[in-house]
């Protein structure tokens, strides 16, 4: 009977606990810090923030959020931060984007366990517990890849080429080459979900060079169309790649450059 009472008490406790409460790990600066959901929701800088055209939900959303810069007090220009999500998404965001004074402002949206957010459209699960959203993103040309949801941690990292040398073009490639421009675009877009030559932090999508680059089995026109709209090549309701359908999300010059980079890297495979 005592065991039954303990089980019932434990069940009641589990039901009472917030199901979506979580911790956010921030390792930027001299020491790491862990923020709980409750601490963030009650933060003195927390506000109700309305995002007119939310990237994840594709509609107007209102969140309880904290200015991201408040949580990164020692952030300096010229640094890079890695934002890691629970679903395998990982994106590097330059500190200059977060510190810009052009009007765009990053906020950390915090899911209230008592008022959970709706499910993401397209069978993509939940966006919580933490989600980076932007006010006036166009003012600083902030793309959709800088809106990581299901966020678990933020940490300071080195330059991508230093961390993952097998992804970098050779030093002989000119600085003004489309290949080098494409490498920059690749880091900002594709690298958030994919690896290349077996290197990278993300684990959502397949490697884009091993065993084969998409440039080896898709024509340039088909690859361009696929990047714009993945469902245009193969219809897959469970597909997570959203594509870059507009000039604002990925200008043609950037799209052509990233394809040039992928074609170049197809000739420079590194087997891990």
Q: Last residue of some domain: 101, 134, 157?
A: 157
- Its pTM stands at 0.76
Using alpha carbons, list the distances in angstroms from residue 60 to 49, 68, 85: 11, 20, 23
Q: What percent of the chain has pLDDT over 90?
A: 64
Q: What is the pLDDT of residue 57?
A: 95
Q: Are residues 79 and 143 in the same domain?
A: yes
Whether residue 2 lies inside any domain: the answer is no
Is pLDDT above 90 for 249? no
Residues 189 and 130 in one domain: no
Same domain (yes/no): 127, 186: no
In a domain, 201, yes or no: yes
Tell me whether residue 10 is in a domain: no
Alpha-carbon span 118 to 130, nearest angstrom: 13
Q: Which secondary-structure segment (H or E) carries 224?
A: helix 220-228
92 pLDDT higher than 60: yes
From residue 160, alpha-carbon distances to 41, 168, 200 in Å are 33, 8, 9
Using the 3D structure, point to which of 133, 157, 181 is the last residue of a domain.
157
- 216 band by pLDDT with thresholds 50, 70 and 90: very high
* One domain, residues 198 and 145: no
Beginning with the edge strand found earlier in the chain, give each strand of the sheet holding 130-135 in spatial order: 47-51, 61-67, 105-110, 130-135
The residues, any chain, with a CB within 8 Å of residue 155's CB and separated by 6 or more, are 25, 26, 27, 28, 81, 82, 84
Asked if residue 9 belongs to a domain, the reply is no
- Considering the domain architecture, whether residues 165 and 152 belong to the same structural domain is answered as no
Asked whether residue 1 is domain-assigned, the answer is no
How many domains would you assign to the chain?
A: 2
Domain that holds residue 191: 161-266
Q: At what angle do helices 220-228 and 252-266 cross, to 10 degrees?
A: 120
113-158 pLDDT, tens digit per residue, is 999 999 998 777 899 999 999 999 988 888 888 999 999 999 999 8
């Amino acid at each position: 009977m005592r065991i039954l009472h303990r089980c019932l008490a434990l069940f009641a406790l589990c039901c009472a606990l917030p199901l979506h409460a979580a911790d956010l790990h921030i390792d930027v600066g001299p020491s790491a810090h862990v923020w709980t959901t409750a601490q963030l929701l009650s933060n003195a800088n927390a506000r109700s923030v309305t995002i007119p055209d939310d990237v994840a939900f594709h509609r107007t959303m209102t969140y309880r959020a904290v200015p991201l810069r408040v949580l990164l007090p020692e952030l300096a220009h010229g640094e890079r931060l890695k934002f890691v999500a629970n679903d395998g998404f990982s994106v590097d965001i330059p500190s200059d984007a977060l510190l810009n004074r052009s009007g765009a402002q990053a906020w950390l949206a915090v899911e209230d366990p008592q008022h959970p957010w709706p499910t993401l459209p397209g069978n993509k699960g939940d966006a919580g517990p933490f989600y980076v959203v932007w006010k006036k993103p166009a003012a600083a040309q902030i793309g959709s890849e800088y809106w990581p949801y299901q966020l678990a941690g933020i940490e300071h990292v080195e330059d991508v080429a230093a961390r993952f040398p097998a992804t970098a073009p050779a030093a002989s490639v000119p600085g003004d080459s489309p290949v080098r421009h494409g490498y920059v675009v690749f880091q900002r877009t594709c690298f958030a979900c994919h690896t290349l030559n077996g290197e990278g932090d993300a684990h959502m999508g397949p490697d884009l060079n091993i065993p084969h680059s998409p440039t080896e089995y898709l024509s340039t026109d088909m690859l361009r169309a696929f990047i714009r709209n993945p469902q245009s090549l193969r219809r897959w309701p469970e597909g997570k790649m959203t594509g870059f359908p507009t000039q604002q999300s990925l200008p043609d010059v950037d799209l052509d450059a990233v394809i040039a980079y992928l074609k170049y890297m197809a000739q420079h495979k590194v087997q891990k």
